[in-house]
Amino acid sequence: MSSSYMQNIGTKLFAKHIQQYTPQDPMYEMYTDERGRQKRRKRAIPPGLSQRDAKILKSVQRRAHYLDRSFSVCGLRFGWAVIIGLVPGIGDFADLILAYYVVLRKARQAELPEWLVRRMLMNCIISATAGFVPGVGDVVVGMYKANFRNAQLLEEFLRIRGEEFLNAQAEAQSGTQVAKLSERDAEQVKPGAGMGAATNHPSTSSTSGAKTGKRKAMEN
């Protein structure tokens, strides 16, 4: 990691996520409606992300949900990861490979820094190692939910990326200076990663006209 800023981000993300004994569902969240009833809805995608990153996050959230929380038996929620892990001999190896290729490999397409990838990989290893413990291993895997944790790490990191991109946009529009990332930190967070043209993201549609006008004025 290149600076104290990124070190603090990494430490906070990992500490917050590792302390959750049973992490939250990355695909759904609970809310209370006007009548005081608990209902479920899909999590909103953090603002300021490119269509690419938003699509990757949605895919990872969906895959993690099915791997870690597809079924409910006697109030216990578990997914395909636990079922695959029950297969004698190869179940735990297959679970590790599945967690990497289905969730972690997809998440890496969002241009994540290597320190975050290592933390996500650690979750997979912890889960796979626990699965080898006779008797209680599969129970631990079902409660630890490595794929949930990796999806949450991805969401929280992309939330930071989106916030930094929106801050940069606000500064460009208003002309007021806000706290900026250092060059090294910007290389880690990569605000606006995957944007390409401004039209690739809905939130930039309101500013694309202004940017186009400035570009044309410079060309003239």
Digit-coded pLDDT (tens) for 67-97:
888 777 776 677 777 777 777 767 677 778 8
Q: What is the CA radius of gyration of the chain?
A: 20
Q: How confident is the model over 178-210, as pLDDT tens digits?
A: 667 778 888 889 999 998 744 444 444 333 433
Is 80 exceeded by the pLDDT of residue 136? Answer: no
Q: Kindly indicate the confidence band of residue 15, based on its pLDDT and cuts at 50, 70 and 90.
A: low
Q: SS3 of 76, please?
A: strand
In DSSP terms, 40 is beta-bridged to 30
Instruction: Please tell me the distance from the alpha carbon of residue 87 to that of residue 198, in angstroms, as a whole number.
Output: 48
Is 80 exceeded by the pLDDT of residue 176? Answer: no
In whole numbers, what is the pLDDT of the chain averaged over residues?
77
Instruction: Please choose, from the candidates 118, 128, 113, 119, the residue with its C-alpha nearest in 3D space to the C-alpha of residue 189.
Output: 113
- Quick one: average pLDDT of 163-171? 90
Q: What pLDDT was estimated at residue 117?
A: 92
Is 70 exceeded by the pLDDT of residue 31? Answer: yes
Q: What pLDDT was estimated at residue 53?
A: 97
Q: What pLDDT was estimated at residue 215?
A: 42
Q: What pLDDT was estimated at residue 13?
A: 58
